[in-house]
């Protein structure tokens, strides 16, 4: 592996030396020349065999360049939360490097929960620096598939249920990564909304739902983020696999959106040579002979875009037009990354990266509930933040307080330099100001291994559930404050690739533990760690609830900072917490596959455009447990009356809506001001409202700032699938200013002429 890389570097140096003697660089090596001129020059020098070789993998995570021309190999790495440890050339087993540990950044649900594009740019730059230092060409992330159901095992890798929020948060991430000379590969394009049967699910939905809900974040990633790579999804659409799909890849991505980068297959996502040639795939990656399961070792020549492709060209069954387009895109990728002489050097495991991980984590943690409790001889006060002047005995309960959560979950599993647990983070923050004890409470998954990375933790406990609960309850009665830290983990059947959750309920009998703790001690904080919504049958019995995430290396310090009030929480939910699974459109009227099948199965999205809060807004009787956009603070905010600069707008005009926001509490804090648009009269059914703007504003106590939103025609438009175009109909609209999808603060009516 290393020999090939060294040879490529040496051959490139040799070419430069020869060119210097001749006083002229070949065009493709001269980065002062226009990119497309360099691409065409390199393409003209390549043989047919070299071109075909470029379109498929040569190892688990690399594809070949052209050694004789000094064009280097392409090296992929899994993200999107950290740089995956090295594996052997042709095996999934660990390579055994001692210098491939990384910083684990928060899962993308946490990033989306910051509602802060500045955090997204910081994230992209930081992880991009780590990828560059590890000499990677492409980072396989970020993910922007829409959160259609809380049962999707891979939701934690995505950016929530709303296409506008996901789109606004994905662009800075891409820009930050690509500033480091590493390509961001946005995934999984498209409609990867559940994991069971992901290879055999044919998604059936309207063109309107496709364009309004499931494609916008990808479109923004391409047209604004200028992503250099896109990864196809495993599922089928229109009975074609998404990794070679005429409508998704050729018609929409490359023609309509003007994407000039590479389309990479997910590992094993390619299924047919002719379709891969014609329907938009550029680079085939996978494992073993057929790209996924088993076969002869070093069988990459048998890939669909390898010898079978070359054979079809030589037999005259296909031409080379498609091949040249694929290679142009790959060369473009290489010139932007590996052959960019202004490419930064990168860095790994730096204090700055750990600080970035912690900052993103603290800004994404969401305070869901914080009720005032009665105190002897004093006014009622909220349980959080914890006052260490009053609280001297803290009990922490729960497996997730100690379990490493960077290992597991599928391809995003990491080998970290360090991961500080919530329990250790709390103990370090409290110091000698209070006593901190821990009780197991429940046994979840005692294992700690994924793909050869072993946590080294011994979490085995043979006590019964009754014994564990009895211990926790007895200790809770003696504590001044109890912090339960549980939720999901990244084991199969929870937040994990290739599996979905069986239900909305918490696993391992945690509901019973929480109910018992609530009876034993009224000063109970429940911290839920997950990438998905969970049911909370005990919600009325618990005074304080915190939604934590898989926040990576700095998990403990980040959570402790929020619980102790060092950081005022400002995260807001990027998805709806339903009270029941039946309150999700995908389960109320849509289809969700639970049984595995080797045959292709249609899954119809009958809820259509009504996903997340769009569905919840239609329900008159059942309110969500916690609404999309919900998030509390340790201070309070008051919204003034929103004003528009006029009451009517023409089709080409922009309307500005302004609202004053005041911090009416005693602490500095940040609020997320959300703009929704309601179409009062429409020829087609539309959601009650749709997110079209947001702004995170930070305020000192007593400070007021004005937040402004610009509304243009695109914010008023819907996709008319009978006309295959976006339409903004003249008529009455409302601009709705809110603190969440159910917390409306002000409305401004206006009209589109």
Between CA 532 and CA 504 the distance in angstroms is 9
Between CA 152 and CA 235 the distance in angstroms is 14
Residue in the structure block whose two tokens are 């202004």: 342
Separation of first and last alpha carbons in the chain? 64
Element holding 609 (H helix, E strand): none
Question: Hey, is 94 helix, strand or coil?
Answer: strand
Q: What are phi and psi of 482, to 5 degrees?
A: -120, 130
Between CA 257 and CA 259 the distance in angstroms is 6
By the 8 A CB rule, do 525 and 383 touch?
A: yes
Hey, how many other C-beta atoms are within 10 angstroms of the C-beta on 3?
Answer: 7
HSE-up of 68 (CA within 13 Å, CB side)?
6
Q: In sequence order, what are the beta bridge partners of 705?
A: 661
Catalytic hit among 73, 78, 266, 511: 266
Residue-wise DSSP of 214-256: ISHHHHHHHHTS--SEEEEPSSEETTEEGGG-IIIIIIIIIII
The structure tokens listed for 125 are 């730059």
By the 8 A CB rule, do 116 and 363 touch?
A: yes
The structure tokens listed for 677 are 């648009």
Q: In sequence order, what are the beta bridge partners of 372?
A: 382
**721 catalytically annotated:** no
The structure tokens listed for 219 are 């479109």
By the 8 A CB rule, do 685 and 742 touch?
A: no
Ranges of beta strands (E only) in 577-703 are 601-604, 637-639, 643-644, 648-649, 655-663, 669-679, 690-699
Buried b (16+ CB within 10 A) or exposed e, 280-296: bbbbbbbbbbbbbeeee
**Residues acting as catalytic residues:** 266
């Amino acid at each position: 592996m290393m020999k090939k890389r060294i040879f490529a570097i040496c051959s490139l140096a040799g070419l430069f030396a020869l060119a210097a003697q001749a006083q002229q660089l070949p065009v493709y090596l001269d980065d002062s020349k226009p990119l497309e001129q360099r691409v065409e020059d390199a393409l003209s020098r390549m043989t047919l065999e070299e071109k075909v070789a470029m379109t498929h993998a040569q190892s688990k995570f690399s594809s070949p360049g052209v050694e004789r021309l000094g064009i280097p190999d392409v090296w992929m790495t899994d993200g999107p939360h950290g740089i995956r440890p090295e594996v052997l050339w042709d095996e999934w087993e660990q390579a055994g490097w001692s210098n491939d540990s990384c910083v684990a950044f928060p899962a993308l649900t946490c990033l989306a929960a910051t509602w802060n594009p500045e955090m997204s740019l910081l994230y992209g730059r930081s992880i991009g620096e780590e990828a560059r230092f590890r000499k990677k060409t492409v980072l396989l992330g970020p993910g922007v598939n829409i959160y259609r159901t809380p049962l999707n095992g891979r939701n934690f890798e995505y950016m929530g249920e709303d296409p506008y929020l996901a789109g606004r948060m994905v662009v800075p991430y891409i820009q930050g990564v690509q500033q480091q000379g590493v390509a961001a590969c946005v995934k999984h394009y498209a409609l990867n909304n559940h994991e069971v049967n992901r290879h055999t699910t044919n998604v059936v939905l309207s063109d309107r739902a496709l364009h309004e809900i499931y494609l916008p974040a990808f479109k923004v990633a391409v047209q604004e983020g200028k992503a250099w790579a896109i990864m196809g999804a495993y599922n089928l659409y229109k009975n074609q696999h998404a990794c070679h799909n005429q409508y998704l890849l050729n018609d929409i991505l490359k023609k309509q959106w003007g994407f000039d980068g590479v389309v990479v297959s997910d590992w094993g996502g390619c299924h047919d040579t002719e379709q891969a040639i014609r329907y938009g795939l550029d680079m085939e990656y996978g494992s073993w002979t057929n790209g996924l399961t088993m076969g002869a070792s070093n069988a990459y020549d048998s890939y669909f875009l390898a010898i079978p492709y070359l054979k079809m060209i030589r037999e005259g069954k296909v031409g080379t037009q498609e091949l040249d387009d694929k290679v142009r895109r790959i060369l473009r990728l290489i010139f932007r990354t590996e052959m960019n002489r202004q490419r930064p050097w990168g860095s790994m495991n730096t204090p700055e990266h750990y600080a970035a991980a912690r900052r993103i984590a603290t800004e994404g943690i969401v305070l869901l509930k914080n009720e005032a409790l009665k105190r002897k001889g004093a006014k009622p006060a909220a349980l959080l933040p914890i006052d260490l002047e009053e609280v001297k005995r803290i009990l922490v309960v729960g497996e997730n307080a100690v379990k490493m959560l960077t290992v597991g979950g599928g391809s995003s599993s990491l080998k970290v330099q360090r991961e500080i647990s919530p329990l250790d983070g709390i103990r370090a923050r409290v110091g000698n100001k209070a006593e901190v004890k821990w009780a197991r409470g429940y046994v979840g998954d005692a294992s700690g291994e994924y793909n050869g990375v072993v946590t080294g933790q011994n979490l085995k406990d043979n006590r019964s559930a009754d014994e564990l609960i009895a211990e926790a309850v007895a200790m809770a009665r003696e504590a001044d404050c109890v912090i339960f830290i549980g939720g999901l983990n990244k084991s199969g059947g929870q937040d994990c690739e290739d599996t979905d959750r069986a239900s909305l309920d918490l696993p391992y009998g945690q509901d019973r533990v929480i109910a018992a703790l609530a009876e034993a001690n009224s000063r109970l904080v429940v911290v839920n760690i997950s990438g998905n919504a969970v049911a909370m049958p005990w919600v009325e019995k618990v005074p304080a609830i915190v939604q934590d995430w898989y926040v990576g290396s700095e998990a403990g310090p980040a959570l402790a900072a929020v619980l102790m009030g060092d950081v005022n929480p400002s995260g807001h939910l990027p998805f709806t917490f339903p009270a029941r699974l039946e309150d999700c459109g995908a389960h109320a009227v849509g289809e969700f596959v639970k049984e595995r099948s080797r045959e292709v199965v249609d899954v119809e999205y009958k809820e259509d455009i009504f996903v997340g809060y769009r569905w919840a807004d239609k329900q008159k009787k059942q309110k969500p447990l916690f609404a999309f956009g919900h998030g509390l603070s340790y201070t309070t905010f008051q919204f003034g009356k929103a004003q528009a600069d006029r009451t009517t707008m023409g089709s080409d005009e922009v309307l500005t809506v302004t609202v004053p926001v005041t911090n009416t509490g005693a602490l500095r804090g940040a609020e997320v001001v959300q703009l929704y648009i309601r179409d009062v009269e429409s020829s087609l059914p539309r959601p009650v409202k749709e997110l079209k703007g947001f702004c995170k504003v930070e305020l000192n106590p007593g400070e007021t700032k004005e937040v402004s939103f610009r509304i243009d025609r695109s914010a008023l438009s819907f996709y008319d699938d009978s006309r295959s175009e976006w339409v903004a109909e003249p008529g009455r609209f409302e601009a709705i200013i809110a603190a969440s999808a159910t917390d409306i603060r002000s409305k401004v009516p206006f009209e589109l002429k």
